[in-house]
Amino acid sequence: MDLLLGDRIAIVTGGASNIGRQVALTLAQEGANVAILDLDEAGAQRVAQEVKASGGQATGYATNIADPAMVKESVDRVVHDLGKIDILANVAGWMFDELFLDETLEKQEKVVGVNLWGPMNMIRAVLPHMVTSEYGRVISVASDAGRMGEYKEAVYSACKAGVIALSKALAREVGRYNITLNCVCPGLTIPEAPETISAGSFWHENLDFWTDERQQKATRAYPLRRLGKPDDVANMVAWLASDRCSYVTGQTVSVSGGYTMM
């Protein structure tokens, strides 16, 4: 099925790495012109090159989504360069596993900055453009942690739950402008290869932990008996970003092989 993204301009945050990289590649493959926003500018440009090498259109931009001024500046640049914004895929995120009482306040503030303020800053910057054009698709990659609360991920879980509630509340506010907001919740989605993660990726410090044996054990918690692939998440993001999905808003979809069912 053609997702009809031919004339669409899409912003993908966190597009330099793992899931965001695949979201950028998939949206471009479906015809969208993609602006890749990431802290890791070289990584964003590398993925933009990958998109171009496969016949798509993409540009990399350096952005810190936790910084509202920088976000506004980047979004203005995208509008200047590409003319409009139809789709926002909030994919950038950051986390670590630690017991709540052991975490420093500094680390917790960083988690909130990236995972909650980040999507809020992005949405605040793109919405005026979408309201004016009376068209918009906002897809935020949250997490099953935000639906059920994950051990050693208390603040991260709270942020992801916040993004889900934010999307629902805003879906009520801006539905009248033909703007939809939905969330996609991955389960454990390990990068397919070390070269598909960016310098800013959480996976730098965690990839070695996930030996084949540990991955095999982890699959037991997943009814479909495998872990997620970036492609699984990207396909759902592309569907929610498409004109084929114009009557779905305020929804949260887990793409996690049945790990969470609600």
Q: Which residues bind ligand NAD (CB under 6 A)?
A: 13-14, 16-20, 38-40, 43, 63-66, 91-95, 114, 118, 141, 143, 186, 188-189, 197-198, 200-203
Distances in whole angstroms, Cα of residue 184 to Cα of each of 113, 117, 122, 138, 205: 20, 18, 17, 11, 24
Point out the residues that are catalytic.
Answer: 156
Residue (133 or 149) nearer to ligand NAD, CB? 149
Residue (172 or 204) nearer to ligand NAD, CB? 204
Classified as helix, coil or strand, 35 is strand
Asked if residues 251 and 183 have their Cβ atoms less than 8 Å apart, the reply is yes
Asked if residues 144 and 187 have their Cβ atoms less than 8 Å apart, the reply is yes
d(CA 20, CA 101): 31
The radius of gyration of the chain's CA atoms, rounded to the nearest angstrom, is 17
Q: How far is the CB of 4 from ligand NAD (least distance, A)?
A: 25
Q: How far is the CB of 156 from ligand NAD (least distance, A)?
A: 7
Q: Does an H or E element contain 70, and which? A: helix 68-82
Residue (90 or 135) nearer to ligand NAD, CB? 90
Q: How far is the CB of 255 from ligand NAD (least distance, A)?
A: 9
Residue (17 or 242) nearer to ligand NAD, CB? 17
Q: How far is the CB of 68 from ligand NAD (least distance, A)?
A: 12
201 contact partners, CB below 8 Å, separation of at least 6: 16, 17, 18, 191
